[in-house]
Structures are given as structure tokens and as C-alpha cells.
Amino acid sequence: MPKLCKFTSPGDGKPVYVNPAQVSVVYTHKGEQPDTIIAFRKDFLLGVRESLEETVAILERAAAAPAE
């Protein structure tokens, strides 16, 4: 099983888990409250509470770690 990355949902603070191998883009949506968005392919977006830099670092660490 691929290593999953744990993030926090901005709406309710509950954990969400992401497979880093399926992420295509990570960006910040500028709004009244800036959100970090993780995109999968072209039709699925997930907002997370973590900053852009923190999100990218978590995904990079998971991608670099050997699968168990």
C-alpha cells in the first residue's frame, strides 16, 4: 500500500489522507482566507489547512521515503 500523507480539513479540522503518487498540482487559492489546494488529475480538488510550503514538504518526504 502506498504511504499516505495526513492533512487537516479546513472546514471541520478532521484529518484527511492523501496518496502522494496521485497528486498532480498543489497551489494556494487567494481568497478571504487563503487555502492550500491539492489537485488530483483535472477534476478533483481538496482544500487543506496546512500552508503551501508545509503541504509540499509533507508530499516530498512521502514520495522520497521507501515503501514499506
**pLDDT over threshold 80, residue 56:** yes
Give the domain 5-64 fold: OB fold (Dihydrolipoamide Acetyltransferase, E2P) (2.40.50)
pLDDT at 57: 95
Cα(27)–Cα(36) distance, integer angstroms:
6
* Domain residue spans of the chain: 5-64
pTM of the model: 0.84
DSSP string, the chain: -PPPEEEE-TTT--EEEE-GGG--EEEEE-SSS-EEEEEETTTEEEEESS-HHHHHHHHHHHHHSPP-
Q: What integer is the mean pLDDT of 57-66?
A: 86
